[in-house]
């Protein structure tokens, strides 16, 4: 997702303000609504944060997890397509109760450590809490779907790039690619709490473009993700020199994966990846698309 850093009080040129009684809040009043959303986000970070991503994804996951015969492999395939549940499982696997056993850094390892019943309980608890909140995302249904597809494609790209061009664990790269826009999901949900913002999807896009990286970084710290994952996804939209050589770290993999996803499932107008990635990366396009289709098919069978 392409990002800029502007003053949130400045009007965005692309916003189209609706007319009518519900669309009359403009100027200072609308600016105050935006600031209120950001203040509420900051306050909520200190509590147990639960927010929906994409309604269909959460619903499919809940229904599949209700099957008492579901296998470990099936659960791995399902939960690694839902960003917040992935984070919760990693968090649980690395909790104090699991101490002394080494840090878990990918979903397969988290599922193995926690066991099938614990994974089912954690995932179902989060999924049910998400579904309660999903109705509030109805005005942004198309946007949340595009963001979810972008995240899934980025996960596929990160996994392939890690496997083909680096020594970094592909499962860890897949996780980082999936959650790299977690802040955007969270902001989308928070924006849905405000009537005036629900009426202005372009205003919401503008706010997310400005703030999703910094809010995402704070959110991931609040969710107690390993610090190098937080560092890897921070500033993933910031312009940098073209990546011509092989990636040296997880952050470069996430940056490349985000760019590679632009051509297929970018959820908001973004940069053209042409010229920003060397041929080593762009030559993987077909393998990435195949992997993305595998992930989506695996999940869609829920």
- What's the alpha-carbon Rg for the chain, to the nearest Å? 19
SS3 243: strand
What is the reported pTM?
0.79
Residue 73 CA to residue 112 CA, distance in Å, equals 10
Over its length of 302 residues, how does the chain's per-residue pLDDT go in tens digits?
544 444 444 434 333 343 333 344 556 665 666 666 666 766 666 556 778 787 777 777 778 778 888 888 888 888 888 888 888 889 888 885 555 678 889 988 888 888 888 888 888 888 888 887 887 788 888 888 888 899 999 999 999 999 999 999 999 999 999 999 988 988 888 888 888 888 888 888 888 888 888 888 888 888 888 888 888 888 887 767 777 688 989 999 999 999 888 766 555 555 555 567 888 898 999 999 999 999 888 776 54
What pLDDT was estimated at residue 166?
Answer: 94
Q: Which domains does the chain have, with CATH numbers?
A: 28-47+136-297 (1.10.3210), 55-130 (no CATH)
Residue 12 CA, distance from chain mean position: 24
Residue 287 CA to residue 299 CA, distance in Å, equals 19
Residue 200 CA to residue 179 CA, distance in Å, equals 26
Residue 223 CA to residue 216 CA, distance in Å, equals 10
Residue 274 CA to residue 260 CA, distance in Å, equals 9
Which structure tokens are listed for 168? 């970094």
Q: Please, where are the H alpha helices in the chain?
A: 27-44, 55-65, 72-79, 83-93, 107-114, 116-134, 141-165, 170-179, 182-191, 195-198, 201-222, 227-233, 250-265, 279-282, 285-300
Dihedral angle over CA of 49, 211, 208, 232, nearest 10: -70
Burial class (CB in 10 A: 0-12, 13-18, 19+), 107: buried
């Amino acid at each position: 997702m392409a990002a800029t850093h502007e003053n949130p009080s400045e009007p965005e040129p692309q916003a189209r303000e609706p007319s009518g009684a519900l669309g009359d809040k403009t100027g200072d009043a609308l600016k105050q609504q935006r600031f209120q959303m950001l203040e509420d986000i900051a306050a909520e970070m200190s509590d147990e944060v639960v927010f929906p991503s994409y309604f269909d994804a959460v619903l499919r996951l809940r229904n599949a997890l209700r099957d008492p015969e579901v296998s470990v492999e099936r659960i791995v395939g399902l939960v690694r397509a839902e960003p917040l549940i992935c984070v919760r499982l990693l968090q649980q696997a690395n909790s104090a109760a699991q101490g002394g056993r080494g840090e878990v850094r990918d979903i397969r390892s988290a599922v193995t450590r926690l066991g099938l019943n614990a994974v089912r309980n954690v995932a179902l608890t989060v999924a049910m809490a998400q579904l309660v909140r999903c109705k509030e995302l109805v005005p942004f249904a198309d946007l949340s779907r595009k963001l979810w597809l972008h995240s899934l494609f980025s996960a596929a790209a990160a996994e392939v790039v890690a496997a083909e061009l680096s020594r970094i664990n592909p499962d860890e790269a897949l996780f980082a690619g999936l959650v790299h826009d977690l802040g955007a999901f969270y902001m989308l949900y928070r924006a849905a709490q405000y009537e005036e913002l629900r009426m202005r999807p372009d205003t919401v896009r503008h706010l997310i473009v400005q703030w999703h990286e910094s809010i995402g970084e704070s959110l991931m710290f609040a969710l107690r993700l390993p610090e190098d994952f937080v560092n890897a996804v921070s500033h993933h939209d910031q312009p940098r020199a073209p990546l011509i050589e092989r990636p040296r770290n997880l952050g470069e993999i996430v940056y490349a994966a985000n760019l590679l996803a632009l051509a297929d499932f970018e959820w908001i107008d973004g940069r053209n990846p042409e010229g920003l990635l060397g041929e080593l990366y762009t030559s993987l396009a077909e393998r990435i698309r195949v992997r993305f289709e595998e992930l989506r098919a695996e999940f869609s069978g829920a």
